[in-house]
Structure 1
Amino acid sequence: MPVTDVTTDPEALTMTLTAEFDAPVERLWDAFTNPRQLERFWGPPGWPATFPTFDFEVGGRAVYFMTSPQGEKSYGSWEFLEIAGPQSFTVLDNFANEDGAPLDGMPVMRVVFSFEPAETGSRLVNTTYFASADALEQVVAFGAVEGSTMAINQLDRVLAGLREYAAGKGTQTEILDDTHVRITRLIEGPIDLVWRAHQEPELLEKWMLGPDGWRMSVCEVDPAVGGRYRYEWEPVEGGEGEKFGFDGETVLAEAPRRAVTTEHMTGTDFPSTLNDLNLEEEDGVTLITLLIEYPDKETRDMVLATGMTDGMEASYARLEGVLATV
């Protein structure tokens, strides 16, 4: 992972994040000063960022918000104080309302983004200066250390490009913490088709089948927020196994990039998971990122032990074949 260290210093009133990347300083600078690239990594998993305003000049402002799986938005703003590209830039960082105005009573921070050469290619040193120990403690309590670490650890795929980052690696499963798992798979095909393949029953029935030997016998989908879905699988004639299914509700839909749904095993009292699907396109390929939130570690481990990753890889490989015919 790129992040090598995050330290807080109550005496100096600072929090410092250090990360190293296999990319030149100029490429790292571009990632932090292009809002479309910032959006691909700035928010931690489950809270992707959007920068509707980005006026990159001294005295200019950037306004951003991060959206939770439930659709809640957390706003922030930067005022650019100093710019010395490609070595550094400094901002005044505020918690903000939906108009980008600073929130009363919340900490205001000065943040320095420094980029320097390193043996691996380049190094980011991100230093946040606080006005008081209470402000530092408050921001740390909000989860700033964990959130910033997870966000910056997503930057590798932006710097490398999606093909170099994920091509040929199949379905990858990462355990992020006790209740979160991230699954990624690069798909040959444009984002619009990959989105349709996750929403339209006539396409879902062709690829979301898991291992060979199964068929989808029920596929009912209402992709609108508040709409429900139901899937059911059964073995093909002569096959072994008992039919099973999942049902749930659409919580968030932002076509063609994000859909959040609950998932419950039909006919059981097992707790539901929250499935956060994100799609990202570059150079004719689409990266599927599925963030799954489990109710507890035990449920997470039980599901992973079923061979879920192998089943998803079989489905995703089938998806590429389906997209080639659409």
Structure 2
Amino acid sequence: MTNNFTFETDLAAKKIYVSREFNAPVEKVWRAWTEPALIDKWIAPKPWTAETKTWDFTIGGTWLYAMIGTDGQKRWVYAEFTAIENGSAFSTTGMFCDSDGNPVTAGPKSYKDTKFISIEGNRTRVDSVITFEEESTVKMFVENGFKEGTAASLGNLDELLASE
């Protein structure tokens, strides 16, 4: 079955649209996106890994995690949950930070809305809209392999869903 991966940028709107289908029911996909032990298994494109330091999946709660490169260096990311519709959607504000969650104030900030939709065949489509404050940030993400990294991470998720 095809996974129908879509990655589109809209520089004028300062947005990136990502859509991907999975061969698993929405409940299983939701768990993979909302349980840190599962997220850490797929979110980083190989050979990178991920490590969650803190997780509070409530409105106003935060997720602090590191993307760990092959050199062992940790690149920290902070996300605050701004909306949660249990089982179907959540929104975050994200930014780069230090290991204590202190934001890199000169760094980019993003706003991400993610929806989980049940589709025919007991499958799931995940749609995300990532909005940035600056057009230059969209360009920077695209030029630095964000599309390829996203595709690789979602491929990791396919493997995880098949093994769970």
TM-score (norm 2): 0.93
The structure having more radius of gyration, on CA atoms, is 1
Instruction: Tell me which amino acid in the other structure corresponds to 1:158.
Output: L
Instruction: Tell me which amino acid in the other structure corresponds to 2:26.
Output: V
Q: Which sections of structure 1, spanning at least 5 residues, go unmatched?
A: 163-326
Instruction: Tell me which amino acid in the other structure corresponds to 1:25.
Output: V
Q: Distance in 2 between matches of 1:104 and 1:85?
A: 31
Instruction: Tell me which amino acid in the other structure corresponds to 2:128.
Output: N
Q: Distance in 2 between matches of 1:78 and 1:155?
A: 20
What is the 5 A alignment of 1:147-162?
147-161=149-163
User: Does the 8 Å CA contact 1:2/1:156 hold for their aligned counterparts?
Assistant: no
Q: Distance in 1 between matches of 2:106 and 2:146?
A: 18
Q: Residue 115 of structure 1 aligns with which residue? A: 116
User: Does the 8 Å CA contact 2:63/2:78 hold for their aligned counterparts?
Assistant: yes
Q: Could you say what the CA RMSD is over the residues aligned between the two structures, in angstroms?
A: 1.4
Higher relative contact order (CA 8 A, sep 6+): 2
The CA deviation at 1:111 is 0.6
What is the 5 A alignment of 1:18-167?
18-120=19-121, 121-161=123-163
User: Does the 8 Å CA contact 1:78/1:93 hold for their aligned counterparts?
Assistant: yes
Question: Secondary structure of the equivalent of 1:154?
Answer: helix
- Which 4+ runs in 1 deviate beyond 6 A? none
The CA deviation at 1:104 is 2.1
Q: Distance in 2 between matches of 1:76 and 1:141?
A: 19
Q: Residue 238 of structure 1 aligns with which residue? A: none
Q: Residue 286 of structure 1 aligns with which residue? A: none
Sort the Cα spacing of 1:53 and 1:3 in 2 relative to 1 into closer, same or farther, 3 A: farther
Instruction: Tell me which amino acid in the other structure corresponds to 1:155.
Output: L
Per-residue CA deviations over 1:149-177 (Å, capped at 9, x if unaligned) read 11111111221226xxxxxxxxxxxxxxx
Q: Which sections of structure 2, spanning at least 5 residues, go unmatched?
A: none
Per-residue CA deviations over 1:110-167 (Å, capped at 9, x if unaligned) read 01111001224110112101112112112222321111111111111221226xxxxx
